[in-house]
Amino acid sequence: MSKSLQAIRGMNDILPEQTPLWRYFEDRVARLLDGYGYRQIRMPIVEFTELFKRSIGEVTDIVEKEMYTFADRNGDSLTLRPEGTAACVRAVLEHGLAGGGQTQKLWYIGPMFRHERPQKGRYRQFHQIGVEVFNIDGPDIDAELIILTWRLWELLGIRDAVSLELNSLGTSAARAVYREALVEYLTARAEQLDEDSRRRLTSNPLRVLDSKSPETQALLADAPKLADYLDDESQVHFDGLKARLDAAGVPYVINPKLVRGLDYYSKTVFEWVTDRLGAQGTVCAGGRYDGLVEQMGGKPTPGVGFAMGIERLVLLIETLDKVPAEIARQVDVYLCALGEPAELAALALAERLRDRLPALRLQVNAGSGSFKSQLKKADKSGALYALVMGEDELARQVVGCKPLRGQGEQQSIAWTALADHLATCALQA
Ligand code: ATP
Ligand code: MG
């Protein structure tokens, strides 16, 4: 195929073989969030570039080098959203959803765009489910967010493969004091730092903690620790969160180096990580961002949230072999008919079945063909049963009901009894 007809690198088609697992995953998460009282919000995929610069921060990887930014025809600078929090906060402000201190528990799903180096678990268009809560400042809600993801891992059968890393970044005032101490320590050793870290030392020094360079990490061993600079308020909040996770039986490890890539976090930060996906091990990440709404022009409004990466979680479910068998099958019953009169009767019968059994996944053969070729298609469809209607069945007002997965012999069933019959065998299988 000519190059111009290929998808953009790092932007994937999700093929029919994969969509059942995606839908299963999305459905599970949606039902779980319903159960905890979260409501869905849908934001546009494109926003003014300024929104992301203001919320995410100018000196972050995302804004410095990962955004898909372009000029609209009228000259506005627009950006494909790299994450969901900024747009969610924008929508909350624009519609006054958090006005008067009212609580909002929101979630969203959709594609995000970042110009990163594509590799397993890292793409340029990827998908997230995100959750954001506004106007609750206590650790109880931080705990709820973590506990509901913990429940999700259990529902998906992947709980044993993920672990929770937790840290507190303190208030921005506390962090400013720490930042000074860190910068002083690192500046004295600047020549030993990797190049990225040396640059960050002046632009975004906390990100140095995140450095992948072993030399920089060695240097950090004796650096001032953020935990020693936590203000009392943040310490109390963090203790409250830990107490709740302990009460709910959610295991965690404190990772003092967890700082997160985005500028806007305060107090709680957390990541769910797995060692089963190679380098792209973070499947869900979030934290508290009490200063963000104000930074974006709203009244001071506490906020906390997380986002999970759908590609990575789907990959994890597959890697652990936890794809439920029942989602692989897309068809329950395949209806074959031979000759025009039988085809007409079969069509009418199919519609009556759909009236009676809305949950039945019934595929009617299209394109005619011999019984043999129709049965081959029936088998390939994955259906549990083939229904066959030829001249003889038509005359007797019955269909042949042929089990395709070795559940007994073919039976002849009257049209009038067919819905009840399928309700007991095909729908309960
Ligand atoms: P990473 O450290 O892996 O780059 P991040 O800190 O940039 O992740 P967030 O902005 O916190 O990621 O996004 C939340 C989640 O979205 C991540 O934990 C991950 O599961 C997923 N994610 C982020 N970037 C990508 C990507 N390029 N491709 C696929 N999934 C991604
Ligand atoms: Mg990233």
CA 13 vs CA 7, 155, 313: distances in Å:
8, 27, 17
Q: From the centroid of its chain, how far is CA 50?
A: 26
Residue 114 alpha carbon, nearest atom of ligand 1: 27
Q: Is residue 261 very low, low, confident or very high in pLDDT (cuts 50, 70, 90)?
A: low
- Residue span(s) of the chain under CATH 3.30.930.10 come to 19-171+231-319
CA 399 vs CA 134, 139, 367: distances in Å:
58, 62, 20
pLDDT score at 278 = 93
Q: Which CATH topology does 19-171+231-319 take?
A: BirA Bifunctional Protein; domain 2 (3.30.930)
Contact 63, 57 (CB under 8 A): yes
Ligand 1 probe mutation, 109, 280, 311, most atoms within 8 A of CB: 280
Contact 223, 229 (CB under 8 A): no
Contact 50, 297 (CB under 8 A): no
Q: Structure pTM?
A: 0.92
Q: Is residue 153 very low, low, confident or very high in pLDDT (cuts 50, 70, 90)?
A: very high
- Is the C-alpha dihedral spanning 162, 164, 165, 170 positive or negative? positive
CA 261 to ligand 2 center in whole angstroms: 7
**Closest protein CA for atom 14 of ligand 1:** 307
Contact 361, 413 (CB under 8 A): no
Say how far apart CA 423 and CA 385 lie, in whole Å.
12
pLDDT score at 1 = 54
Report which residue type is found at 168. Answer: S
What angle is formed at CA 281 by the lines to CA 155 and CA 318, rounded to 5 degrees? 45
Q: From the centroid of its chain, how far is CA 8?
A: 21
**Residue 22 CB contacts under 8 Å (≥ 6 apart), including other chains:** 14, 310, 314
Around ligand 1, the residues with Cβ closer than 6 Å are 83, 114, 116, 121-123, 126, 128, 261, 280, 282-285, 307-309, 311-312
Considering only residues 87 and 329, tell me which one the structure prediction assigns the higher pLDDT. 87
- Is the C-alpha dihedral spanning 141, 146, 149, 153 positive or negative? negative
**350-409, pLDDT tens digit by residue?**
999 999 999 999 999 999 999 999 999 999 999 999 999 999 999 999 999 999 998 789
Identify any residues that bridge with 334 across adjacent strands, giving them in sequence order.
363, 386
- CB-count burial class (<10 Å; 0-12, 13-18, 19+) for 157: middle
**Closest protein CA for atom 16 of ligand 1:** 309
**Closest protein CA for atom 6 of ligand 1:** 261
Residue 130 alpha carbon, nearest atom of ligand 1: 14
Query: What order of strands is seen across the sheet that includes strand 362-364?
Result: 362-364, 333-337, 385-389, 398-403, 411-414
**DSSP category for residue 39:** E
pLDDT score at 58 = 81
CA dihedral 51, 54, 59, 61 (to 10 degrees): -30
Q: Is residue 2 very low, low, confident or very high in pLDDT (cuts 50, 70, 90)?
A: low
Residue found by looking up tokens 């678990």 in the block? 121
CA 127 to ligand 2 center in whole angstroms: 13
Q: Which CATH topology does 329-425 take?
A: Rossmann fold (3.40.50)
Contact 278, 174 (CB under 8 A): no
